[in-house]
Amino acid sequence: MGSRSFSGAKSFPGEDIDLEDGKVAKDREKISRCYRPVKIHNQALLSGLAYCISSCSMILVNKFVLSGYDFNAGISLMLYQNLVSVIIVSALSLFGVISTEPLTWKLIKVWLPVNVIFVGMLITSIFSLKNINVAMVTVLKNVTNVITALGETYLFQKHHGNTVWAALFLMIISAISGGITDLSFHAVGYTWQIVNCFLTASYSVIFIFGLTLRRVMDTAKQVTKSGNLNEFSMVLLNNSLSLPLGILLVFAFDEVDYLSKTPLLRMPMFWLVMTLSGFLGLAISFTTMWFLHQTGATTYSLVGSLNKIPLSFAGIILFKVPITLENFFSILFGLLAGVIFTKAKMRERSQS
């Protein structure tokens, strides 16, 4: 599922500087220099592990709900997860643990178009995960990078190096060969995943180039009381706005009839797993913010790319996915291509 919240330009509190007493400021700087490396090292490692565990667990638990329990109401699953997130964030804000902006009508109107794409990404991701094994979902998500790169090149004349294009070519080959050799191939699942790739790519292109979305961010900040829209507020905003839209889609996709008949809703263990998935969805948002704060976008991208490797193998083993040698190497090929692509993009950023 990736990150379930949209985080725009990150704004983290910086260190205070004492301008009145230069000596005190220098002493503080010396002390901070002595202790900073150990603190940052431990925090970065811990936050990275927390992010990896929460993101992997979220996908595996969702797969267990959808396939293990054979739950056929994906939109309702998303709706419940987002409801859990709203309740937890609201409670934390109420008790003063975190600060969030109040949801005003002006803010809702500004953010609603972004939220529609957000909901679309979540729903199509759930629909694809229902019918495709975790490893192939991970490999097919690489197609998003291909679509994004093509959009950057042809729509915005952004130049990419040969290494990036080579990695993208490897991604395409692995996705095609993986689909051909997939013993559990499901046309509907693959279709939903391709739709998800296009939605995610359009979201990424808009975000990268600041078209529309940056204006939305600026406008959203202007209509808040504090003049700022922090990450917790965006988590609350996205998940809150998704609830009425999710309810409409539950009726549109006729999930109400299924929910009224399924015996799963009378099983306490099923509700426990569903609630756990909601907690994990929120955990991804918080650990992503924490990890980015301790490291940076470059490390976050690389770790996220490497994290797909154990996730894919865990999905194959836990759900006993039938796999051929050809399909195994296609998946491995695609995962390695993702790592190469991430490193190539990192090199591009450093050169620019």
SS (HEC) of the chain: CCCCCCCCCCCCCCCCCCCCCHHHHHHHHHHHHHHHHHHHHHHHHHHHHHHHHHHHHHHHHHHHHHHHCCCCCHHHHHHHHHHHHHHHHHHHHHCCCCCCCCCCHHHHHHHHHHHHHHHHHHHHHHHHHHHCCHHHHHHHCHHHHHHHHHHHHHHHCCCCCHHHHHHHHHHHHHHHHHHHCCCCCCHHHHHHHHHHHHHHHHHHHHHHHCCCHHHHHHHHHHCCCCCCCCHHHHHHHHHHHHHHHHHHHHHHCCHHHHHHHCHHHHCHHHHHHHHHHHHHHHHHHHHHHHHHHHCCHHHHHHHHHHHHHHHHHHHHHHCCCCCCHHHHHHHHHHHHHHHHHHHHHHHHHHHC
pLDDT > 60? residue 25 = no
The pLDDT, as a whole number, for residue 206 is: 59
Confidence of residue 298 (pLDDT cuts 50, 70, 90): low
Q: What is the pLDDT of residues 244-293, one digit of tens each?
A: 999 999 999 999 999 999 999 999 999 999 999 999 989 988 888 788 77
| Percent of residues, the chain, with pLDDT higher than 70 | 80
Mean pLDDT of the chain: 81
pLDDT > 90? residue 99 = no
Average the pLDDT over 230-252 and give the result: 90
Q: Considering only 49-58, 126-135, 154-163, which range has the smallest mean pLDDT?
A: 154-163
> Does the predicted model carry a pTM greater than 0.95?
no
Average the pLDDT over 99-105 and give the result: 83
Q: What is the pLDDT of residues 331-349, one digit of tens each?
A: 998 999 989 888 888 887 7
Q: Considering only 1-5, 141-145, 219-223, 258-262, which range has the smallest mean pLDDT?
A: 1-5
The pLDDT, as a whole number, for residue 27 is: 45
The pLDDT, as a whole number, for residue 213 is: 54
Q: Considering only 118-132, 162-176, 196-210, 255-269, which range has the smallest mean pLDDT?
A: 196-210
